[in-house]
A and B are shown apart, each in its own frame.
Chain A
Amino acid sequence: MVRIIPLLATVFLWSMASGAQLDFARDIRPVLSDACYHCHGPDANARKAKLLLHDRAKALEAGVITDGEMLRRLTSDDPDERMPPADSNSPLNDADRAKLVEWLQTGAAWPSDDRHWAFVPPKRPRLAKVQGADWTRNGIDHFVLAGLEREGLAPSPEADKATLLRRVTLDLTGLPPTLVELDAFLEDHSPGAYAKAVDSLLDSPRYGEHMAMGWMEASRYADTDGYQNDRLRYMWVWRDWLIRALNDNMPFDRFITEQMAGDLIPDRNFFTQVATGFNRNHRINSEAGSIPEEWIVEYVADRVETMGTMFLGLTLSCSRCHDHKFDPVTQKDFYQLFAFFNNIDEAGLGPNNGNSPPFIEVPKRWPVLSAEEAKFVVPAPMKIKVVQTSVPRPQPGATNTVMVLHELPKPRDTYRLERGQYDQPDKSERLHPATPPVLGPWNDQWPRNRLGLARWLVDPAHPLTARVTVNRLWQRYFGLGLVKTSENFGVQGEQPSNPALLDWLATEFVRLEWNLKAMHRLIVTSATYRQRSTTSRKLLRRDPENRLFTHGPRKRLTPYAIRDAALFTSDLLNGKIGGPSVKPYMPPGIWKSISNASYKQDKGDKLYRRGIYTYWRRTVPPPTMMTFNAAAREICTVRNDLTTTPLQALTMMNNKTFVEAARFLAERMMQAKGQRPRQRVAEAFRRVTSRAPRKAELDLLMKDFSFYLKDFRKKPNEAKRLISVGEKLLNPRLPAAQLAAYALVANTILNLDEAITQN
């Protein structure tokens, strides 16, 4: 009895806090899943008891929910009785226990349609009714404002124009606005000024490059194979395709279909074939001695898992070894999905450098192809040659090829693999391509191949694809998705913070015929997005992650944008689009010290290309990017962590790229004619942060400038050393001490929190 008091208190608190009825799918199942499914859940092999809590019929049949047994076990003081057991690795916290207790005490309602919210196709919600409708600019704002009004909160005022232009320019192109663009926008007082700016950003080719980056990280795009010696591959033609598809605003359903099945669609051609490289971006093992059968299984499984994370928002990898412990995806379901991808004419072991079959030759004139060149090509079949006693290697594709998907004449047999092991197939049942019924119906008009799979994914009735995609778009802008666990919409994932908004966006996406640019426009023109990003300590305490959107997004730039922006504001950036990857500066011995390969740095203009083109060696990725939390591109990654470390500070202060950018920013300062030092510094500040410095800020920087200048005048050699960092030649006509002093001021400005942040 002693325990009851705190328990009741918790129940009381919970009810007070939520003010809502308990809903099985929303409130109860996630708790059951977390605390009970490990033993009482879908995985037949892990079950510790006969009682099943994931299956409504079976759970009700068992009677424990209604006869008080479950309540007794949840509230018992006896350690042998109390559930979950003390030694369980899934402890149940007091609040969740209270929820279960309240649910059981109030009749344990378990509706017959108890599907997890994400598996029920989104229904278009009516626009939420709001008091302050004047504030709203589009549908998004109705749902956001309704949430705020429910909490008795109000939105923030719109951000000032300069902040807004910087925010949207960085969000849509990955680069800050130029001073010319900034001035033009500030001077344009017409009501459509912002919309016009957004349109021109969406039309900029920089848009495709910036949007491609997230897709590349998710698609685990790289320039090497990713195992052991990490042999070279040539996939940049796929990257070119990607940037172009995004810039051309290819409808998203088509975008997915070409990547999943560009070799199978009726109107297939060379370009759609290149698109299928998406499913060849996984790692390929070329280590001598590897057992080929083992690794083919890895590649096929990687495709299933990547599809699961990117389109379904599900962790299908769990079902590779056993029935999913939380989601209704069985191991058999996994291998039926596996069967869709198990038909590629590929080798288990990669070649020693070069593309692994199937690959096709890329015409010299790529990407401008003649009608003849743009036709579909049948790749040469795989040919295995045995080397080093018994190592079977396929023919390598040269630098002018790109890897694609191509079906075998006769598919490989697919079986369920015991514990996911390649050498333990369950041969009692041959499996055929099929999708898990719980994730949406299959139309028999669709072929049972990757093309049918793509059709299934982009079917308007699919519960997940549109939701998962708009959620990732939201994450780009607001730092967090409406479902924070953007990689997991399953039972163990987070519930959407604003379910109606998520469903409205998902249905809007389909209604707009999967028009990506239209969705970007919708978000960035919403009043929600346009809010000021300042907040109060009180609000911060109440809603630390800004899930209610009381203010606009404030976030650090991506690793790529941090470098690009520094090069851009110092006029070093080489704006060339597309082509093979380049090798910018790298600290000495980064490859050599731990591998048998040496990094041969490029020269000249190639040092200053955008980060999207930086050569990506998977086992030793570019350290500057990794320091700022880039995905390693070994596996599909859709959410990056934004940790802050001292290594980032060291990079921004001392790394050659950033120091060279500082000295070029200094040159820019000195090149303007007829300016006083104060004007020069103010302009550099504005180039980097998109705002003019305040007086106190400028005073401080000028004081430092004088100090540095005096210092460098005493030490001309030191000045010369600083302004010689990097390979771009120095303008010898500029006085060294001054240039060095400006360079340190520029270094300061580039190190401001604001320089790598969108306010």
Chain B
Amino acid sequence: MSKRNLCQISPGFEEIMPAEYRDLVERGPYGKGWGVAEMGSFKELIEEHPLCAGCGLALSMRLILVSLPSPEDTVVVGSTGCSALAFPQVALHNIHSLFGNQNAVASGLKRALALRFPGRVKDVVVIAGDGATCDIGLDSVLHSWFRGEKITTIMLDNEAYANTGGQESGMTQRGTVLNMAPKGKKFGKVAVPEIARESGCVYVAVTSPAKPKNMEKAVRRAVLLARDLGPTYVQLLCPCPTNYKFKPNETLDRIRDQEKQGHFRPREYYTPEAEAFIRQLEEAKG
């Protein structure tokens, strides 16, 4: 169905449909193949959102949704956390089940869609926070990778449990004082990208919304590779002004500062098959 009109309006209902629905029908991205370069010229999949001003997560979610190669055939699985507050505003089928079970839900979902739609694209993308991915849900994240589930896992890394009031997570940097780490965190960020590389992910990228084009490329590669080769992982640094107490307009500067200071290291890992696949794909696209 990739190019068919997913959203339509029954004749006679044009006037009474909500404005954002009419926008989706008339200027939505389904089947269009649009991306970051076209932002501002079409109706995006996220409609408003209740997240804080300057939220790194909100910016990342917006860019992820714009970067999906086939939004008309993408189902998102989320988890509890700040992002769960924004997903009800997203015009894709998206599942919030529980805190930490997102990759297990996605495993069952992907297999079900593969059974029901053989030979057709049905992308399953997990988008969850660092607490959900690295702590409470790590078991299911790892096992989905070990099993080679053909899903993309995206971590929105704001280095804290932001939605419960700013507690330390496994992705918080060493020494940071947060709730539940009153004397500073005793260990460093968990090396999830390297764990992913060793656990079966064919592609791993660490990037951020500070470089939208770069981030778009990572998300597209991850989704396309998961479709054909195996699990992929993208980790996005999404600073949290509310809990880290900086001004909302400083979010991107903070990412750049972190990179300059060596605390944030963008990187990519491929398997040889993934690298060949991507080269072929991107050369074909020109």
**Chains A and B are bound partners:** no
